[in-house]
Structure 1
Amino acid sequence: MSDHEERERAGHPGHGLRKELPEEVPATVPPPREEREEEQPRLTGRQRLVKGLWPPRLTRAQLIVALLLFGLGFGLAVQVASNSDGDSALRGARQEDLVRILDELDDRTQRLEDEKQGLEKQRDELENSSDQAEEARRQTVEKERQLGILAGTVAAQGPGIAMTIEDTKGTVEADMLLDAIQELRAAGAEAIQVNGVRVVAGTYLTDSGNGVSVDGNKINAPYRFKVIGKPQDLEPALNIPGGVVQTLEKERATVTVERSSKIVVDALRAAKRPDYARSSSR
């Protein structure tokens, strides 16, 4: 390096350094506050509140709570409106309409009371079901006994009459005995027995030689009838003018009718099962 250059560096110590640095950037001075306020419009308190609330920044929990509150409020509003409408409708109704509404309420109350009583009755029946079952069994046994008497499968006893027909001339025929049976049935006879043969609903009589056949069983005179029923009805029915007794006496037969407080009908019929008929009850 020459002496000239050394002198220049010594005489101007900051000249070379300044050339190597960049130029200084002038600092920017912010405008006064008044100018900034003039550039942006002034916001009111409501606008600042809206700007702070919108757009909303809600969490998931807050959103759920808001929906629940909305639903609760809506339900309360609908309930209040409904009650208000009902009250207003009643206040504006005529007297005839109010009377009709009261009558309908009374009818509904009566129906509910009837239903209550019906349920209580069913409850009592269920509680007494054991007693009712026993009563039903007793009635079933009694009904079976009565049907057995009518069918001739069960022996019977009770008040009635005893009728004897003496036929020494052999003039008594099957149709005369059948007339006697029908007359006794019409008078209320409940059980009939002729010479050891039980008479039932399907009984038939035919002439058989010197005697009569009852359901295929031949019987001979004297014909002895045992009849259970009310004696006060049975005897007069046989003795009416032109009735059974007078008809048999015209045929020179002798007829004797006696009342009795105890007649025993012990001739039985075997229970026959029908070949085709079946009960229609399910």
Structure 2
Amino acid sequence: MSEHDGKTGNRLRKELPREVPAATAPPPERTPAEPQPELTGRQRLVKGLWPPRVTRAQLIFALLLFGLGFGLAVQVASNSDNDSALRGARQEDLVRILDELDDRTQRLEDEKQGLEKQRDELKNSSDQAEEARRQTVEKERQLGVLAGTVAAQGPGITMTIEDTKGTVEADMLLDAIQELRAAGAEALQVNGVRVVADTYLTDSGKSVSVDGNKINAPYRFKVIGKPQDLEPALNIPGGVVQTLEKEQATVTVERSSKIVVDALRAVERPDYARSSSQ
């Protein structure tokens, strides 16, 4: 082919019209959807709220809020009861209750300082093994006092309950023991029977049994502890002394710088429990 023919062919291609694309089929006609009935405002609100769409996180959060609200309600009710009980107390009774609370706070603070001192001694002692042995012996002695297996002496009070009418029952003496423990009693015996953590009291006719040992009035409590805490705890409004006096019993409380608690309990070997170090 000559150069002239090539130029003529290119000119003809430029002049020819482009191919017309095939006509596309028209889209199918859509069937108009049936018109939906328009919802009222109340129907839209109900449709948005029901059924509820609750996630797990929302459920847990709701349970936590419920528990918090319940706890606050119980605390408010308890405070209301305490407020109503104290509202009718005399000024000197309120002062005595406040003093007792201050004494308990101070006692806890002293115990905290003692534990911190033991910790520091273990850290700073040049012979930590010897210090540990010394503290072990001291702790064994303290536990023996609490368990009632060794005698104890120290400051405290003696409380005597005269019951000529035979109206004093075991639960009243148990309330006295619990009040004394709450006030810081460290060792206690009643009519020659040592009172420890698992002590139980029962009625036995017109007398009382302590751990199966029958005791008769007058009931004499020997208690080792801080007298300034023990005596006020028994004399608070509505406390042990007032309850016993309502039963026509006579209660006397005497402070002493030396109380001897020498009633002992036999050492019991547990049937199943063993030291984890064995």
Normalising by the residue count of structure 1, what TM-score does the alignment of the two structures yield?
0.53
- What is the alpha-carbon distance in structure 1 between the residues aligned to residue 235 and residue 275 of structure 2? 41
Compute the displacement of 1:152 (Å). 0.1
Per the TM alignment, residue 278 of structure 1 is displaced from its structure 2 partner at its CA by 2.3
Q: What does residue 119 of structure 1 align with?
A: none
Query: Paired residue for 1:238?
Result: 234
- The counterpart of 2:130, out of the listed 118, 127, 134, is 134
**3-state SS of paired residue (1:240):** coil
* Equivalent residue runs for 1:79-118 within 5 Å: none
SS at match of 1:269: coil
Partner of 1:210: 206
The count of corresponding residues between Structure 1 and Structure 2 is 155
Q: 2:215 aligns with which of 202, 219, 235?
A: 219
> Hey, what's the Cα distance between the residues in 2 that align with 1:223 and 1:256?
11
2 CA distance for matches of 1:175 and 1:191? 20
Does residue 182 of structure 2 align to residue 186 of structure 1?
yes
The reply on whether 1:268 has 2:264 as its aligned counterpart is yes
Structure 2 SS opposite 1:189:
coil
The residue matched to 1:143 in structure 2 has which SS? helix
- Give matches, 1:1-282, under 5 Å: 128-129=126-127, 132-281=128-277
Partner secondary structure for residue 230 of structure 2: helix
Distance 2:226 2:203 in 1: 30
How big is the alpha-carbon RMSD for the aligned residues of Structure 1 and Structure 2? 1.5
The residue type equivalent to 1:258 in the other structure is E
What letter matches 1:162 in structure 2?
T
For 1:267, give the aligned amino acid.
Answer: A
1:210 Cα deviation from its structure 2 partner: 1.9
Distance between the aligned counterparts of 1:280 and 1:183, measured in 2?
34
Gaps of 5+ in 1: 1-123
Indicate the percent of aligned positions where both proteins have the same amino acid. 91
Distance 2:232 2:184 in 1: 12
Distance 1:169 1:140 in 2: 49
3-state SS of paired residue (1:257):
strand
Partners of 2:273 and 2:250 lie apart in 1 by: 43
Structure-2 separation of matches of 1:280 and 1:187: 33
Q: Deviations over 1:114-153 (max 9, x none)?
A: xxxxxxxxxx98xx44xx3332222111110000000000
TM-score normalized with structure 2 length: 0.54
Deviation at 1:279, TM superposition (A): 2.7
The one-letter amino acid of 1:161's match is I
Aligned partner letter, 2:219:
Y
CA–CA separation in structure 2 for the residues paired with 1:246 and 1:263: 25
Can you give the 5+ residue segments of structure 2 that lack an aligned partner in the other structure? 1-123
SS at match of 1:146: helix
Residue 281 (structure 1) shift: 4.5
What is the one-letter code of the residue matched to 2:256?
A: S
One-letter amino acid matched to 2:248: R
| Cα deviation code 1:208-264 (max 9, x no counterpart) | 112100000000000000000111110000000000000000000000001111110
In 2, the alpha carbon distance for the partners of 1:277 and 1:178 equals 28
- The alpha carbon displacement at 1:162 in A equals 0.4
Decide which moves more: 206-215 or 134-143.
134-143
What secondary structure, in the 3-state scheme, does the structure 2 residue paired with 1:200 have? coil
Aligned partners of 1:279, 1:207: CA distance in 2, in Å? 37
Task: Give the superposition deviation at 1:188.
Answer: 0.6
